[in-house]
A and B are shown apart, each in its own frame.
Chain A
């Protein structure tokens, strides 16, 4: 049997306990009536949909939340994202978006400590699931830049 028969990913790397926890009890999961930025995200391939809400004060993300439905990976990714960006300067969040995207799709940038977000890195070994994990981040990026609906198909 060749290595490729084995596939790259270990299922336990993908579905870590933190992922299950955030899937069962997503953090910051609610609408935000006083949001000043928002965007919808949609993955037409699997039907996942979410909306990310932001309130920005003095160049910082004063509050962030999301609603929607999706698989465990996309829900946990969105939940972890809200925790990671709350209170951070917008510029820093944009840099984090780029680095997380790199971690999920290619290779993590050197020197970046992802903290809890590290649990998402297992997705890289499951190419079919990368879009699930990146949907919330693209939607956040669009909310910040006013770019409209994010699609990850």
Chain B
């Protein structure tokens, strides 16, 4: 089936996700923690199981038929990721454990080889810890420094400050495509163009973007793009790094082991071409196969249709939650993905999370691994509801009703 679906029919897709039929705490599950991880459609679960039932063998090594078959499936999955990101070549796609490992690969592969004391890496205040800490580690080793683009009260990047931070010392700009704590969709394409004009490379953390926005790495012009399978209706422990061919070819390996070498002698070894150079050891073959199935699934639904559905739910949830007393939203950018981050006066986000959970409503409570954002707004954390293509109006209604219950329990239903 290749017909793009109308948003109204997307909610029926919930039937494709078996876990959504599971009652939680005796209630219908309203799963609104999709920014942490999404659920998996039957087809993804089946693809991974079928790999072990019918196709399991190690890859790139065997002389036997099954090994060649498994290799074909794995390399076929790589080509699906290439198509999904519109990369020019499959060898520009490196399989990793996920976004975090992909960013670490660039930090320790490219960064350690290229950064010198005085060089600068530009990050933003809304980065996830996985796009901060690897750079801190590599800066400690190389003497490079981190510069930070601040955000506005609405949760948008201060682009004027961004431009002022760029200069001859800037070697890399690393930015989230979509903020996991605020939902802001950043204008990455013009930011990348400005980075390049300053002579810097650009890495995009696409963890929160790929399930919600069409991504075209060539149109964006980015040098690196990182994402995870598990936020894309695919398995955990698999993700990918897109890297421009000439950059990957010039990068040294960052992990040593089997399959990443051309020759090994105790006097020294030579490296395989990318992507094999960066995939030491037996990879998550079944995960790659499951990721390909998830990409196929999402492609059939259509990213535009999924995004339109999620946008409608976000608008509805925003409207409804603002009718409640004591609500403060964090992240009110004009261009926003399906994330509703908020606090409720008089109720700590963790208490709210527990009470919502008792109603079967799964949200995230805390700093969402984006502590600088919380510091920026002077709060310890927020409650975060995040939407996926299988959510519907019932989930929004359950969220609102559960917040009302919490306010009643805490005696804050009349709070200002």
Contacts and interface: CB of A to CB of B under 8 A. Distances in A.
Given A7-B358, A14-B354, A72-B348, A46 B25 contact: no
B83 interface: no
A72 B410 CA distance: 9
Given A15-B409, A46-B350, A70-B348, 10 more contacts: A1-B23, A1-B26, A5-B22, A7-B24, A7-B25, A45-B366, A47-B371, A71-B350, A72-B348, A72-B351
Instruction: Give the residue among B23, B351, B366 with the most A Cβ atoms within 10 A.
Output: B351
B33 to A, nearest CB: 13
A69 B343 CA distance: 15
B355 A11 contact: yes
Interface in A106-140: 126, 128-129, 132
A15 B381 CA distance: 21
Interface string B338-369: 00000000011111001101100000011100
Per DSSP, chain A at the interface is: mixed
Contact of B374 (A20, A47, A73, A128): A47
A6 B380 contact: no
Instruction: Give 7 closest A-B pairs by Cβ, nearest first.
Output: A47-B380, A71-B348, A71-B350, A7-B25, A11-B358, A71-B351, A72-B351
A15 B23 CA distance: 23
A99 interface: no
Contact of B25 (A5, A48, A73): A5
9 contacts: A5-B23, A5-B24, A5-B25, A20-B411, A46-B366, A71-B348, A72-B348, A72-B410, A73-B351
A20 B23 contact: no
B380 A5 contact: no
Nearest to A69: B380
Interface in A1-25: 1, 5-7, 11, 14-15, 20
A122 B355 CA distance: 14
Interface of B: 22-26, 347-351, 354-355, 357-358, 365-367, 371, 374, 380-381, 409-411
Given A5-B23, A70-B348, A132-B350, A47 B381 contact: yes
Contacts of B381: 46-47
B330 to A, nearest CB: 14
A131 to B, nearest CB: 10
Contacts of B374: 47
B354 A128 contact: yes
Contacts of B355: 11, 15
Contacts, number: 58
Given A70-B348, A71-B351, A46 B23 contact: no
A152 B350 CA distance: 15
A91 to B, nearest CB: 33
Contacts of B25: 5-7
B19 to A, nearest CB: 12
Nearest to A12: B409
Nearest to A6: B26
A71 B367 CA distance: 14
B401 to A, nearest CB: 14
Instruction: Give the residue among A7, A20, A132 with the most B Cβ atoms within 10 A.
Output: A7
Interface string A69-93: 1111100000000000000000000
A47 B358 contact: no
A73 B366 CA distance: 15
B184 to A, nearest CB: 21
Contact of A46 (B26, B357, B365, B410): B365
A47 B366 contact: yes
Contacts of A5: 22-26
A132 B23 CA distance: 27
Contacts of A14: 354
Contacts of B23: 1, 5
Contacts of A45: 366
Nearest to B348: A71
Contacts of A1: 23, 26
A70 B358 CA distance: 20
A70 B347 CA distance: 10
Interface in A34-81: 45-49, 69-73
B142 to A, nearest CB: 27
A11 B359 CA distance: 10
A49 to B, nearest CB: 8
Contacts of B26: 1, 5-7
A112 B348 CA distance: 31
A37 B350 CA distance: 30
A129 B354 contact: yes
A48 B354 contact: no
Contacts of A70: 348, 380
Nearest to A11: B358
A74 B354 CA distance: 13
